[in-house]
């Protein structure tokens, strides 16, 4: 069997996909570049840079990355923010490694992202699985009911709740109630908010994690 090394299958498939000119009802949020600054869109390859003296470093930022993190914290109304790579997947693992301890019982929704599971495995925390609300009509899982969480706190002694906010179908639990429960039981509220960075910027949107007393919220801006 011969191979056509003049072909670029992945590039060709991406080009075919993009040139359909469809409405992008999928992530990421920039929607094929429609919301990206025109200069950045035209120079996207030129700004694919390394940790240079002029560009700062994520590991110990002292320049523009640190300034950007402070602007982000101020915009979302939180004490501190960290720019990360690997999307919310890397962020969820970082939250596990910094906010949890080995063998610590943590309430976790059954529809959690696999990065949450990976973080729990890496830190050695003990998940207590909670069933989210089930929508039989559409066949999808929604957010957690406060009553389910309250019963779990009473019976397990869990010291943290890790919730998905919103779910992959755009629905949420009563985050204000979940935050109140965490405060009542002295537990930390951790949020996988990959799809909720915009919640903090309009009053008609669901409660943002930053206003619910969450100890950490991970966003994919």
What pTM value is reported for the model? 0.90
Nearest to 102 by CA among 186, 159, 183: 159
**Residues of the chain falling short of pLDDT 70:** none
Q: What are the structural domains of the chain?
A: 87-218 (3.40.640.10)
Specify the residue for token string 């009911």.
145
Amino acid 130: pLDDT: 97
Could you give the C-alpha distances from 196 to 83, 90, 138, 160, 170, in angstroms and in order? 16, 16, 22, 20, 9
SS3 170: coil
Amino acid 50: pLDDT: 87
pLDDT in tens, 105-160: 999 999 999 999 999 999 999 999 999 999 999 999 999 999 999 999 999 999 99
Amino acid 178: pLDDT: 97
């Amino acid at each position: 069997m011969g191979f056509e090394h003049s072909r670029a299958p992945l590039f060709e498939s991406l080009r075919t996909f993009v040139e359909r000119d469809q409405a992008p009802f999928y992530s990421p949020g920039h929607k094929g570049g429609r919301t990206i600054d025109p200069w950045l869109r035209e120079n996207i390859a030129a700004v694919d840079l390394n940790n240079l003296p002029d560009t700062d470093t994520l590991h110990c930022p002292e320049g523009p990355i640190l300034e950007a993190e402070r602007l982000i914290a101020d915009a979302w109304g939180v004490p501190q923010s960290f720019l990360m790579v690997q999307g919310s997947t890397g962020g969820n693992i970082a939250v596990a490694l910094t906010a949890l301890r080995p063998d610590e019982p943590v309430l976790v929704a059954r529809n959690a992202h696999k990065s949450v599971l990976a973080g729990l495995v890496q830190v050695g925390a003990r998940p207590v699985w909670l069933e989210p609300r089930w929508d039989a009509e559409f066949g999808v899982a929604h957010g957690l009911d406060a009553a389910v969480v309250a019963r779990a706190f009473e019976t397990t002694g869990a010291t943290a709740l890790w919730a998905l906010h919103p779910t992959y179908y755009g629905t949420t639990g009563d985050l204000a109630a979940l935050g109140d429960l965490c405060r009542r039981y002295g537990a930390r509220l951790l949020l996988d908010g990959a799809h909720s960075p915009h919640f903090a910027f309009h009053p008609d949107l669901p409660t943002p994690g930053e206003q619910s007393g969450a100890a950490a919220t991970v966003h994919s801006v």
